[in-house]
Amino acid sequence: MVGKEYNPHIFNLMKRANFLTRNALSITFFLLLAFSIIGQIYTGWKEHNDFLNSYDQPGTSMSAYLTSGHFLQATFENWESEFFQMALFVILTVFMKQEGSSESRPMEDGSGDKEGECEPLKNSPWPVKKGGLALRIYKHSLSIVLTLLFFLSFGLHWYGSFLDYNEQQALEGLPLTTGIAYLGHSKFWFESFQNWQSEFLSIFAIIFLSIYLRQAGSSQSKKVNAPHSETGE
C-alpha cells in the first residue's frame, strides 16, 4: 500500500472480515442450524432417557442416542418436509406464476430457458462452458439435489420412526412390526403429513403475503413503492 507500511496481521483481519461480509447469510443460518441441532440432541437425549426410566429401563448414552429411532425420526421427519417443499417450490415456479407475488417470475416470462441464459460467459460455471450432458444436468441440478435430499430424508425418517415404534411396542410387551409393514402405518404418515402441511402453509403465506406486504431491503420483498400487481422481486 502506497505511503503505508504493510501489516500482514491487519491484512488477514480485513480478509476474514470481507469473507464474513460476503457470506453472512449462509454463515448465520449454519450457526443457527448448529445451535438448534445441538439443543435438539441434548434435550431429546434427556427426554428419551426419561421415557426409558418410566419403564424401569436404563438410560442410553448420548452417542447411542444419535443412532436411536427417537433421534432419527425426530430429525428426518422435519428435514423430509423441508426438502419436499423446497423441491416442489423450485419445480412448480418453472411452470406456474402468481400475479403480484415477489416469489413468482414476472407474468410476461415464458416457461423454459430464458434467452441466452445457457450461453457460456467468461466466469460461467464449468458445466455451462462444457455444454452437452453436463449442461443438461446442471440446468436442473437444484431440483435434482433437493429431490434426492427429500427421498434420503424420507427413508431415514421411515427407518427412525420404525425403530422408535418397535422400541415402544417392546417396552409395552406388544407385537413388533416389519419395516415394509410399517410403511403403511398411520403413525408414520401422521408424522409426515403434520410436517408437510406446515411447510406448505409457510410457502403459501410468503407467496400470498408478498403481494400486499413489504420488507424494505429484503430480497424476498418487492420494492416498497411497487404496485400490488407487480410480479417478481
For residue range 69-78, list pLDDT tens digits in order. 999 999 999 9
Q: What is the rounded CA–CA span in Å between residue 174 and residue 166?
A: 9
97 neighbors 104 (Cβ within 8 angstroms): yes
Q: What is the pLDDT of residue 4?
A: 57
What are the residue ranges spanned by the domains of the chain? 1-60, 67-110+122-233
For residue range 45-64, list pLDDT tens digits in order. 999 999 999 999 999 999 99
Name the range with the highest mean pLDDT among 1-5, 127-131, 141-145, 215-219: 141-145
Q: Check residue 114 and report its DSSP letter.
A: P
Q: What's the grid cell of residue 206?
A: 410468503
Q: What is the pLDDT of residue 112?
A: 64
Place of cell 408424522: 191
Q: Check residue 175 and report its DSSP letter.
A: P
210 neighbors 220 (Cβ within 8 angstroms): yes
Q: What is the rounded CA–CA span in Å between residue 162 and residue 167?
A: 9
